[in-house]
Amino acid sequence: EVQLVESGGGLVQPGGSLRLSCAASGFTFSSYWMSWVRQAPGKGLEWVANINQDGSEKYYVDSVKGRFTISRDNAKNSLYLQLNSLRAEDTAVYYCARDSGTLTVVVFDYWGQGTLVTVSS
Amino acid sequence: SSELTQDPDVSVALGQTVRITCQGDSLRSYYASWYQQKPGQAPVLVIYGENNRPSGIPDRFSGSSSGNRASLTITGAQAEDEADYYCNSRDSSGSHVKIFGGGTKLTVL
């Protein structure tokens, strides 16, 4: 059974940092692109970042470029998101998702349960 | 970067058919995928590509596309289909950046 379990969320002050983790199991983690998707309270889904199978390609939404860093450790079946210089507008539930898509279609077929990041003084 | 546009609210009578649409330039080059999200839960993939349903998704859910528009159709809507629905595709730039539509809240009357 495929499982994605996020952790690392919490309350942090503006300007602070946090590291989110996503533990994957039930599939060959190193064979898939992985993404982080967030959802601010009462708002829609926003794709944040993704990383390819060996970590050599990384992409980000413009609003987090230079502040967030996505990474992975295939030996530990884990995905990470380092959040720096946090702002109030980064407050959201952060989901990790497996991308089984192709060049023509995005397929986020498995999602974690999410971890809440609250940025507030 | 490109955008995907969805109607914020759609309603349907129980047992009737409803279409939820998603519009954007990226859909001329890439297929959409669709996600259902109920309150307090993670999103669930319901349709992807030309018209593919993951295992366990009822066949009342179907997808289609034409030009810059993609549609999710629920034929014979059930009470449990009341949820938020999001479309998703790659950014039209051709990179691996992904985008979501703003979401459609479906009410089953």
Place of tokens 């179907």: B62
B2 vs B98: CA distance, rounded Å: 10
Single-letter code of the amino acid located at A81: L
Q: What is residue A85's predicted lDDT score, i.e. its pLDDT?
A: 98
User: CA–CA distance from B10 to each of A17, A57, B86 (Å)?
Assistant: 39, 38, 13
Task: State residue B1's pLDDT score.
Answer: 59
Return the residue matching tokens 């971890």: A115
Classify each residue of A37-72 as buried b or exposed e, where b means 16 or more C-beta atoms within 10 Å of its C-beta: bbbeeeebbbbbbbbeeeeeeebbbeebeeebbbeb
Distance CA A106, CA A7 (A): 24
CA-based nearest distance A112→chain B, Å: 7
Q: CB within 8 A of A98, min separation 6: which ones?
A: A2, A4, A24, A27, A32, A33, A34, A35, A108, A109, A110, A111
To 10 degrees, the CA torsion angle through B57, A105, A98, B37? -50
Write out residues in chain A with pLDDT < 70, as ranges. none
Q: What is the pLDDT along chain B (109 residues), one digit of tens a residue?
A: 579 999 999 999 999 999 999 999 999 999 999 999 999 999 999 999 989 999 999 999 999 999 999 999 999 999 999 999 999 999 988 788 999 999 999 999 9
- Contacts B86 to A, Cβ<8 Å: 44-45
> In terms of C-beta density within 10 A (0-12 exposed, 13-18 middle, 19 or more buried), how is residue A22 classed?
buried
Question: Which tokens hold the place of A35?
Answer: 């993404």
Residues of A with CB under 8 A from a CB of B: 33, 35, 37, 44-47, 50, 52, 57, 59-62, 95, 99, 101, 104-109, 111-114
The CA distance from B64 to B16, in Å, is: 18
CA distance A7 to A24: 12
d(CA B34, CA B88): 6
Mutate to test the interface with A, among B96, B104, B105 (most CBs of A within 10 A): B96
Q: What is the DSSP letter of A26?
A: S
